[in-house]
Chain A
Amino acid sequence: MPSRSATAGPFNRSWGAYAFLAPALLILFLSLLLPAIATIGMSFTDISFLRPANWVGLDNYFRLMADGRFQQAIGNTMYYTLGVTFPTMALGLLAAVALNRKFPFRIVFRTIFYLPVLTSLIAAAVVWVYLYEPYSGPVNGLFVSLGLGPQPWLSSPNLAMMALIIMAVWRDFGTAMIIYLAGLQDIPEEIYEAARLDGASKFSILWRITVPMLGSVTFYLMIILIVQSFQVFGAIYVMTGGGPLGSTETIVFQMYQTAFGYTEFGYSAAMSTVLFFVILLFSLVGTKIMRRGEG
């Protein structure tokens, strides 16, 4: 049987580290964990912040299951997340590979590609509304000059989400590019040299060396983009208001509307809890796939 001093030893030896971590842990607990626990707790009530709250058990969750609008919001969120995540990563990777080579003005190109990330989301969204303007907007101007008809980008239930995805990819692929550029610096040049000596084509080098060796970066980026996309709100608020016909209403947008528009904070908390577990599930599945890949 181990002695008490033996089991207490590691803690006693690390108390200094715990002491240094304590302030950060306290802030994290107060700002992150406590609100998260409170939100989960609220999801079992009918809290409105105006009346005394009642315990309603799983009623909010049963309501969610039967709520067609919430199901539509889940579908919209998935569509948006997939639509943004993978094109952003692909474009980011291509831009990073291209700008990792040495050529004149590459810093200028890197800056230009990264600029949308630095732009205020709301300002960018307002500009994109004008770009998409169906009658005098430049996007439709381009379409017409190519012999294609003008499209009702933000006013068609079939096109509005796609229009939002295009804007998000434009805005986010600079982030992917920077992260991939950092990852590319870690790939030893010798590997590329060996591949070239073996006569590998440029595509083979990209596909068989660069992409696999950026695996951990790709995974990190994917999780970041998925979490970010699941939480989209600002662009939708400005550009479509969730319409037309709810085609751009995502979970977070619906949460906001339910909480502050309809003062149903309990129901909104249930939506938030579902979103939390969906994101957690995605993260866990991603981690598992990644570990299997590394194995």
Chain B
Amino acid sequence: MEKQNKTGLNRRQLLLGVAAGSLTLGLGGSIGRAFGQDQQLVFWSQFAGSKRVAGEALEAAFKEAHPERNLVSTLYAEPPQLNEKILTSINGNTAPDLFVQHWDYNLTYAAADRMLDLGEALSVSIDDLDPSLLAYGHINGAQYSVPMYGTSRGIGFNRAHVVEAGLDPENPPKTWAEFRDWAIALTKRQESGFLERAGFSLFHNDLEAWEVFTLFLQGAGGKLLNDDLSAPSFAGPEGVKALTFLKGLLIDDRVSDLGFGLGPGGLASPFNTARAAMIIAGNYSTNNALRAGIEFAVAPIPMENGGFTSLVDPFCYAIPRDAKNIEGAVAFVEFALSPEQQVAFAVESKNVPVLKSAQQDPAVQADPYLSKFVETASYAPQEAPAIPAFSRMVTIIARAVQEAMFGRASVEDALSAAAAEVQTILDRG
């Protein structure tokens, strides 16, 4: 027995050794994890699709410039997918330090006082940023989210169709009357009435139905909500005029068919398959149209009697109020808003940068499509319908537009019913 003890470990020594080893490993691991987590900057990104390469380049540049910050990013394909994650993570106290998301979701989180006021946290001069894009992150008197970029809307047209119809692509419509003439001239139907090519494809989903109505509402001099965003104003004379004009294009002028092109967009959309000559286009339309071999051109959206209008649609950074690494998150946003990163992201992703100086940068202006969308962005209103119930309002208005188009209700009744519904939601808060 004694001999055995001299040559090997006894049971007590073995147990002590195992316990000490486990304790060391456990403590070491915990300390290491704690240290690692302190340094981590958790970023949930929505730079997917056409923005993926630009997003990856931005993150790589940040890592290079800030090697001390351990950026850990996760990519989400769609805003609703990211929204599901954010909602559950905020509730479970596992929210990231930073995320970039479609602006209307950010307003929902901000309205519940779960976000940091970036107006105070960032050292970036707000005056250097495009006010029309910035307006979408402003709620309850604070700037809860700051855009990285925005998309803007213009008339996208097929240059080959325009030339074929005897129209001048260098002289696009400047009033509603001219727009109507273009839409009629570009429409092609067989003798049987079968629509070969829509002169103007109005919308392909609810969001686009809302969008086309809003653009023509603005074109008639109206807007969605009153100045203090407490009541709808889209059902007034301007709204009726806008929807009547759109309905006239569809029913009287037959520039398209009811339900034409409803469904998934992308390469199979009517415009990208040369079955529509004009659409409401955004920056995101460019790549697919060019890939589909369309002679894509962009023009500003005319107002009724001259002048132009547009919409911008930003994707914004937001930092949860309870984020563990607020300092790191602020550093990332400031880095992303630097002129170099703004230009690089815009040129790669073909989106409108939020930094005003980047919008006029020679590299941005050298891109024929991007420069055109920068121009159309300048026609967007400076104020935004920045309410937490925005997505619900979109659905209601889109439904009203389609009810009028499908003849289920008169233009006036559809808009009045929608306005009453929006008012109920606004009153509910």
Complex Cα–Cα for A155 and B201 (A) = 14
B402 to A, closest residue via Cβ? A245
Q: Which residues on B sit within 8 Å (CB–CB) of A156?
A: 258-259
Give the Cβ gap from A160 to chain B, nearest Cβ, in Å: 9
Interface 9-residue window, one of A12-20, A98-106, A260-268, A283-291:
A260-268
Interface 9-residue window, one of A44-52, A174-182, A225-233:
A44-52
Q: Are B399 and A261 in contact (CB under 8 A)?
A: no
Q: Are A246 and B399 in contact (CB under 8 A)?
A: yes
Q: Which residues on B sit within 8 Å (CB–CB) of A161?
A: none
A152 to B, closest residue via Cβ? B259
Find B205's partner among A129, A239, A243, A263 (CB 8 Å cutoff): A243
Give the Cβ gap from A71 to chain B, nearest Cβ, in Å: 14
Q: Check if A157 is an interface residue, CB within 8 A of chain B.
A: yes
Complex Cα–Cα for A246 and B392 (A) = 14
Residue of A239, A241, A244 with most partner-chain B CB within 10 A: A244
- Chain A, interface size category, equals 20 to 34
Q: Check if A154 is an interface residue, CB within 8 A of chain B.
A: yes
Q: Check if A207 is an interface residue, CB within 8 A of chain B.
A: no
Q: Check if A86 is an interface residue, CB within 8 A of chain B.
A: no
- Chain B, interface size category, equals 35 or more
Q: Check if B68 is an interface residue, CB within 8 A of chain A.
A: no
Q: A261-B80, A262-B389, A263-B108 are in contact. Are A244 and B259 (CB under 8 A)?
A: yes
Q: Check if A135 is an interface residue, CB within 8 A of chain B.
A: yes
> Within B199-216, which residues are at the interface with A (CB < 8 Å)?
205-206
Give the Cβ gap from A60 to chain B, nearest Cβ, in Å: 12
Interface string of A195-221 (1 = CB under 8 A from B): 000000000000000000000000000
Complex Cα–Cα for A130 and B273 (A) = 14
Q: Which residues on A sit within 8 Å (CB–CB) of B113?
A: 51
Q: Are B399 and A245 in contact (CB under 8 A)?
A: yes
Q: Which residues on B sit within 8 Å (CB–CB) of A263?
A: 87, 108
Interface of A is mostly: loop
Q: Which residues on A sit within 8 Å (CB–CB) of B194?
A: 150
The A-B contact count (CB < 8 A) is: 73
Q: Are B263 and A154 in contact (CB under 8 A)?
A: yes
Q: Are A50 and B112 in contact (CB under 8 A)?
A: yes
Q: Which residues on B sit within 8 Å (CB–CB) of A245?
A: 399, 402-403, 406, 408
A154 to B, closest residue via Cβ? B263
Q: Which residues on B sit within 8 Å (CB–CB) of A239?
A: 263
Q: Are B83 and A260 in contact (CB under 8 A)?
A: yes
Q: Are B406 and A157 in contact (CB under 8 A)?
A: yes
Complex Cα–Cα for A150 and B195 (A) = 11
Interface string of B235-264 (1 = CB under 8 A from A): 000000000000000000000011111111
Find A135's partner among B112, B275, B402 (CB 8 Å cutoff): B275
> Within A47-77, which residues are at the interface with B (CB < 8 Å)?
48-51
Q: Which residues on B sit within 8 Å (CB–CB) of A244?
A: 259, 262, 402, 406
Complex Cα–Cα for A146 and B407 (A) = 30
> Within B168-223, which residues are at the interface with A (CB < 8 Å)?
194-195, 205-206
A246 to B, closest residue via Cβ? B399
Give the Cβ gap from B68 to chain A, nearest Cβ, in Å: 33
Q: A49-B87, A246-B399, A262-B389 are in contact. Are A155 and B262 (CB under 8 A)?
A: yes
Q: Are B262 and A243 in contact (CB under 8 A)?
A: yes
A-B contact pairs, 5 of them (CB 8 A): A49-B88, A150-B194, A152-B258, A240-B263, A245-B403
Given contacts A51-B113, A244-B259, 8 further A-B contacts (CB under 8 A): A49-B87, A50-B112, A126-B264, A133-B263, A135-B195, A155-B260, A260-B80, A261-B391
**10 residue pairs, one from A and one from B, having the closest CB atoms:** A155-B259, A50-B112, A155-B262, A49-B91, A152-B259, A51-B112, A262-B392, A245-B402, A49-B87, A263-B108
